[in-house]
Structure 1
């Protein structure tokens, strides 16, 4: 793409993608976006996202807070950079069946979110914009080549799996931390949740749910933190993708006759 045709990217995206012009004169900048972002990630990992402030990050890298604004226009820009920078390189799909790869792809992202739980607060409704996260999307699309799915369908597949990552990671994280948002409810896992529901559900109004709860369905859920539960949901999604691929293949066969 020529310089004349490049879109007018926001300053943060230009920095993330290395599109900023390099000054030919003057002293070399003391800081860069990568250093600032790494400091912010360290703070978030230690103290949560609430501990991340421009002043705190500036202190960690040894400059005044005002100096950060040369590289980061706002805290929101910093969060965008953090969400991208914390992502490792995705696994490569060469030689893997699409289903095996997407299972690995999804679990790796879920493990990343659980390791850096502050991601739950900033990626739930944000599409990928940075080079690292978009590389994950690229690899998911690449492994679906030859399946007969249209490009839009491939993107929807990746989006559905990414949404499952965030939903499962949020529930798993909440269970591991004792559901602090529920105050003194005493709910610390699926079994506790089931006991509360059993006490409030009216079998006449909620016949199916009440029967499931009273049968002990939630008592075997391992507190929502067992990988078997994650894999069950993932297999449901992969089964659906497999059926979609099979349907597209059948439509292709019919259309070719």
Structure 2
């Protein structure tokens, strides 16, 4: 039997239970919930072992009886912060994956500190893996093989992450852009139109000079998210069609 890493054993409740010594006052779920509350209020920078210990009412060193390190705590938080995935109901595989990917992106925007948690991929916690399972299950009736299904879900997860990162960055602002007077896509387009050499950047320069971003709704238009998602799912649909048995074949 494979020996589980300590943090994985904690997430799955697979740690050996000691029958010796006093009964534990705390559990991993309580500690994780306290750390998530701090991150929701103050961001990831506000999370410390001493701060979490104070919130749950123990000395900092006592916390290490339940959590091996701050890095382990961050992994526990990344899984504990994830709600149940959307229910599929009667949705087709494509309709469900639209809902799934949007919910994935929106979770990251509601708790943007998740974008800063290092070393949490690939997911190994029960909550994160439930999301993976539901997306794979939506593809169960297609002609894709297991590897293709897994790659589809990985691509959608990556898209949700990259879009959430962009949206969050633009929502909180970038001092470098603000100092340059760039507060949105329209300003960005005007700057590019000014600096791009049409001979060196013919395609991009022509688009900016034609005002591509002048009437943009901003950095975070939902239509942009759906456009990219539709591109991905069109490709998945085309792949499924190629895998389908041919009549008389």
Distance 1:73 1:193 in 2: 46
Gap change, CA 1:57 and 1:180, over 3 Å in 2: farther
- Verify: 1:81 aligned to 2:76, yes or no: yes
- For 1:172-187, list aligned pairs within 5 A: 172-180=167-175, 182=177, 184-187=179-182
Cα drift, residue 118 of structure 1:
0.9
Q: Is the 8 A contact 1:87 1:133 kept in 2?
A: yes
2:36 equivalent to 1:41: yes
Distance 1:59 1:156 in 2: 42
Distance, in Å, in 1 between the alignment partners of 2:114 and 2:122 is 13
Post-superposition Cα deviations, 1:119-168, rounded to whole Å, max 9, x if no partner, equal 11126872111000000000111010121001010010001000010111
CA, structure 1 residues 126+219, in 2 after alignment: closer, same or farther (shift >3 Å)? farther
Q: CA contact under 8 A between 1:179 and 1:187: conserved in structure 2?
A: no
* Partners of 2:56 and 2:123 in 1: CA distance: 27
Change (3 A) 1:223 1:149: same
C-alpha distance in structure 2 between counterparts of 1:47 and 1:218, whole Å:
34
2:126 corresponding residue in structure 1: 131
SS of equivalent residue, structure 2 residue 246? helix
Equivalent position SS for 1:159: helix
2:11 maps to 1:16: yes
Structure 1 distance, partners of 2:97, 2:49, is 37
What is the aligned-residue RMSD (CA, Å)? 1.8
SS at match of 2:65: coil
> If the length of structure 2 is used for normalisation, what is the TM-score?
0.94
CA distance in 2, matches of 1:221, 1:174: 17
Structure 1 length normalisation: TM-score? 0.91
Q: Give the 3 Å change call, closer, same or farther, for CA 206–150 of structure 1 in structure 2.
A: same
Structure 2 gaps, min length 5: none
Give the whole-Å Cα distance in 1 for the aligned partners of 2:177 and 2:117.
22
More displaced stretch, 168-177 vs 223-232: 223-232
2:232 aligned with 1:243: no
With over 3 angstroms needed to count, the CA separation of the structure-2 counterparts of 1:124 and 1:22, relative to structure 1, is closer
* 1:98 is aligned to 2:85: no
Pairing of 1:142-221 with structure 2 (within 5 A): 142-180=137-175, 182=177, 184-221=179-216
Match of 1:253 among 233, 246, 249: 246
In the aligned structure 2, how far is the partner of 1:212 from the partner of 1:181?
24
Aligned residues: 249
Pairwise CA distance, 1:73: 1.1
Question: Cα deviations across residues 58-92 of structure 1 (Å, max 9, x unaligned)?
Answer: 12112111111111111111111111111111122
2-side partners of 1:124 and 1:94: how far apart?
33
Is the Cα–Cα contact under 8 Å of residues 178 and 189 in structure 1 kept in the other structure? no
Where does the alignment leave 5 or more consecutive residues of structure 1 unmatched?
none
Q: Which residue of 2 aligns with 1:111?
A: 106
Partner of 1:62: 57
Structure 2 CA distance, aligned partners of 1:132 and 1:94?
19
Alignment-derived partner of residue 53 in structure 1? 48
- 1:38-76 Cα distance to aligned partner (Å, 9 max, x none): 111111111111111111111211211111111111111
